[in-house]
Structure 1
Amino acid sequence: MHSQNKTVVKSLVILNLFRKHSTLTLNEIVRLSELPKTSAHRMVGSLTEMGFLTKDNQGSYSLGLLFLEFGEIVSERLNLRKIAKPYMEDLRDKVNEAVNLTIRDGDEALYVEKIDTDHPVRLFTKIGRRSPLYTGACSRIILAYMEDQEREAYVERTTLESIGIKTITSKSKLKEVLHQSRLNGYTISYSELENNTVSIAAPIFNYAGQIAGGLSVAGPETRFTEDKIKELTQQVKETAYRISKELGFTESNV
């Protein structure tokens, strides 16, 4: 592990050089990084093979297109949070329940924004929290709208562990719920991440019609009556659609 960490550090030392220099030769990388030439050569070779660096015909290196892809992902996520926040505040004012925004981060959902309610009894969820994609409405709505092959692969490789008293731990049941969520355009969870709570989530799409995140309202089960759930579901779906439109989504993208 210690050796692996040293390798990562050396790689980052090299990559950081390109923050000030658009192109560098191997000799320049060795001089500026103060790494042994053999180590620098090995690191540069690995970074080039992985797409982090690219080499031109003159033998000079520059940052690879992979960084452009990462930059676009970061930009999209930041834009989503910025665009969604006023809509989330408006939704909270209408329903007086906590509103959450999640994005996918690998096999997890990451909570990137939350607008809280002034109810004395409320569900506590902090920004930065992570949850498995299979459980909780705001996580599972992302899973429901992932590409079919990717979604199936996730379900097959994932162990469905119980977190709340009603966490779905059956893969066949999960597949049914995911299918129904796509038909309905929303999903509801009861006591899946936190006991005695309810969450209702709808998908947010980007300009390409791909799932960009999940929007949910959540709170104690005692306040989520049948009539209120119908109202909240409609409000969440409408708000998620408005955010999607801001991201450039149209029905023709689907």
Structure 2
Amino acid sequence: MQNKNKTVVRSMDLLNLFLTHSKLNMNEMAQLSGIPKTSVHRMMGSLEEMGFLHKDKNGHYSLGLLFLQFGNLVAERLDIRHIALPVMERLRSEIGEAVHLVLRDGNESIYIEKLDTDHPVRLFTKIGKKAPLYAGASSRTILAFMPEEERETYLEEIELLPIGSGTIISKDKLRQSLELTRETRYSFSRSELENYTAELSAPIFNHACDIVAALSIAGLEVQFGEGQMPVLIDKVVKAAHDISRKLGYQEST
């Protein structure tokens, strides 16, 4: 940590502002970041010159097209995305719900692939969306199969905050849910990240039997009725297992 270059760190602080703002001027960036305006001016000039930022005629900055190039390269080089995509397409055609591929990113999960549904009323998610590891079926699937010591450290340190009306905010209940996920090999959530929505997820393992991702289907709560669940669970678990096998996973006997 102590070897971090101060200018690089501050530049990242400025770029991170654009995760939640589409456009910002110099004064707004200085105010939001707490970095002196002279330093902001110097760094923004360099970032613009290198193509990381674009400045319009009104003096507002936005992310440059270089990020699109980098983003596409990252997506293309994620082998699991290419391996999972045909299975995800099959799953979507079978059930007609949105299908997601989710990875761990530190103490969060991140959506790296999505196949949308044809339903006129649908759940809005996008590639790059993040969620805490304790909330939502995909996140909880990843958390459930993390190494026990690492999982317990996370559970001890994290503060469970409500996001949707169904978010689990009791650590006892969360531990029970994680245990159930490990037993059944799937996780289900209602209104945890967004009210009136549901998500059903199953784990994806690699050749070393480590959790590497979660596969999920998601949509409006009403589309996940009791009568539909057995079929949906079977199809999602099977699809996740098919991807795991393609990654070299072999179930222990």
What TM-score results when the alignment is normalised by the length of structure 1?
Answer: 0.70
Partner of 2:104: 104
Partner of 1:88: 88
Following the alignment from structure 2 to structure 1, what is the Cα–Cα distance between the partners of residues 145 and 86? 24
Partner of 2:216: 216
Partner of 2:7: 6
Following the alignment from structure 1 to structure 2, what is the Cα–Cα distance between the partners of residues 75 and 182? 29
Q: How does 1:74-223 map onto structure 2 within 5 Å?
A: 78-223=78-223
Q: Return the letter of the residue paired with 2:6.
A: N
Q: Deviations over 1:18-54 (max 9, x none)?
A: xxxxxxxxxxxxxxxxxxxxxxxxxxxxxxxxxxxxx
Distance 1:120 1:224, change over 3 A: same
Q: Return the letter of the residue paired with 2:197.
A: T
Q: Return the letter of the residue paired with 1:152.
A: E
Q: Deviations over 1:104-141 (max 9, x none)?
A: 01000010000111000111110000000000001110
Q: Return the letter of the residue paired with 2:161.
A: E
Q: Return the letter of the residue paired with 1:172.
A: D
The Cα shift of 1:6 comes to 2.2
| CA RMSD of superposed structures (Å) | 2.1
Q: Deviations over 1:152-203 (max 9, x none)?
A: 1101100000000010000011000000110011010000001011110000
Following the alignment from structure 1 to structure 2, what is the Cα–Cα distance between the partners of residues 77 and 195? 34
The Cα shift of 1:222 comes to 1.2
The Cα shift of 1:230 comes to 1.3
Partner of 2:65: none
Following the alignment from structure 1 to structure 2, what is the Cα–Cα distance between the partners of residues 223 and 203? 22
Identity value in percent:
51
Distance 1:77 1:175, change over 3 A: farther
Does the 8 Å contact 2:102/2:138 carry over to 1?
A: yes
Q: Return the letter of the residue paired with 1:228.
A: Q
Following the alignment from structure 2 to structure 1, what is the Cα–Cα distance between the partners of residues 115 and 95? 12
Q: Return the letter of the residue paired with 1:232.
A: L
Distance 1:174 1:77, change over 3 A: farther
Q: Return the letter of the residue paired with 2:166.
A: K
> In the comparison of the two structures, how many residue pairs are matched?
188
Following the alignment from structure 2 to structure 1, what is the Cα–Cα distance between the partners of residues 109 and 77? 13
Does the 8 Å contact 2:201/2:215 carry over to 1?
A: yes
The Cα shift of 1:5 comes to 3.0
Following the alignment from structure 1 to structure 2, what is the Cα–Cα distance between the partners of residues 76 and 4? 30
Distance 1:170 1:89, change over 3 A: same
Following the alignment from structure 2 to structure 1, what is the Cα–Cα distance between the partners of residues 8 and 118? 49
Q: Return the letter of the residue paired with 1:167.
A: T
Following the alignment from structure 1 to structure 2, what is the Cα–Cα distance between the partners of residues 7 and 231? 50
What TM-score results when the alignment is normalised by the length of structure 2?
Answer: 0.71
Moved over 3 A (4+): 74-77
Q: Which runs of 5+ in 2 are unaligned?
A: 11-73
Q: Return the letter of the residue paired with 2:223.
A: R
Q: How does 1:53-68 map onto structure 2 within 5 Å?
A: none
Q: Which runs of 5+ in 1 are unaligned?
A: 10-73
Q: Return the letter of the residue paired with 1:146.
A: M
SS of aligned partner of 1:178: helix
